[in-house]
A = this chain, B = another copy of it.
Amino acid sequence: VAVTLRDVAAHVGVSPRTVSNVVNNFRYVSPATRILVQAAIDELDYRPNLLARSLRQGRTAVIGFLLPELDVPYFSELAHEMVEHAHTLGLTVLIDETTGSQEREVELLSVLARARQVDGIILSAIGLSGRRLAELRPTLPLVLLGERTTGSTVDHVTFDNVEAARQLVKHLIDQGRRRIAVIAAPASPGFATSNLRMRGCQSALWAAGVPYLPELTVRTPRWHRTEGYRAMAELLDRPNPPDAVVAFNDVLAIGALRLLHERGISVPQRIAVTGFDNIEDSRFSIPTLTTAGPEKADVARRALDVLVERIAGHTGPPRAVALPFSLQLRDSSLSSR
């Protein structure tokens, strides 16, 4: 039932070539024929079959965005920016979830890359190490998010996780906190986000001569609210509870806030809390949450720009884009207000 280029051509009495020229806004079509053809297109309600076009041209104008989980606010906010900015570039976004497992990251990456369904891929990697990635030798333009791997062989966009963590902990120390707990996400090999943030924390403690208390570090299996809630409970049940908690993302922190509320422990008076990511919710939580992170719009914009450049054929050494980030000091960590 679908109207094809041929149908339009036959209807007007020109060759398919001419119709194609009109559809693609090529020069060298006489105004008269252009009008004629356009009329036929409108009349028959013709739309080019993008599949056929993609097959022919070898490009699809679709990019794949692989992220751990769409229902984690950081990623949904990022996905939003991605879709929005992609749209301004005339691109569509195909989203798939990796659940943060290395196998699934590898699998999706290779499936997407080989199937020619997308022109390039943006991967928010959690489990994948730089080495493993290098072995894969991705066949498609690829931009990595959220992890800075030394000697990485692919483009990536990130921000200075170590420095951000350092500044957050320094802020807590400046506020007089001395027993600083950490709610960390799973340890991964290599330079995973969680490890970088841990390093920043320790560096700040060391610089201030405040002891790092390993017994006040809890590692959670995932980055969810529930995990933050559980981890906080665990911390309180230990002898000598903390006077501050650095959670490695905002939802973990929000889970912790919830538990503290239930136990009747006031924040920040008795325990200060900080997060990471600056998700929308951190401005509305009770109390509002101190956090740090880059602008998500920046992340999306830069990642797409680098990717588009590669798709356009740019060759050259892998780019490492480090975005600026900012600290948002809010009620959850400000003692004197």
Binding site for B on A (CB under 8 A): 1-2, 47-52, 54-55, 60, 62, 69-71, 73, 76-77, 79-80, 83-84, 87, 92-97, 110-111, 114-117, 139, 225, 229, 254-255, 257-258, 261, 280-281, 283-286
Question: Provided the pairs A47-B114, A225-B284, A281-B281 are in contact, do residues A71 and B77 lie with their beta carbons within 8 angstroms?
Answer: yes
| Number of copies of this kind of chain in the complex | 2
The answer on a CB contact under 8 Å between B280 and A225 is yes
Known A52-B116, A62-B117, A93-B95; further 6 A-B contacts with Cβ < 8 A: A2-B139, A49-B55, A71-B73, A71-B76, A87-B97, A95-B95
The 7 A-B pairs at the shortest CB distance, nearest first, are namely A76-B76, A47-B114, A71-B80, A50-B115, A70-B80, A286-B286, A258-B284
Minimal beta-carbon separation of A188 from chain B (angstroms): 22
The answer on a CB contact under 8 Å between B73 and A80 is no
Question: Provided the pairs A80-B71, A80-B97, A96-B83 are in contact, do residues A51 and B286 lie with their beta carbons within 8 angstroms?
Answer: no
Q: Report Cα–Cα, A71/B70, bound state, in Å.
A: 10
Q: Report Cα–Cα, A254/B254, bound state, in Å.
A: 13
Minimal beta-carbon separation of A261 from chain B (angstroms): 5
Residues on the B chain within 8 Å of A93, using CB: 94-96
Pick the residue among B47, B73, B258, B283 that contacts A76 (CB under 8 A): B73
Closest to A254 in B: B284
Residues on the B chain within 8 Å of A97, using CB: 80, 83-84, 87
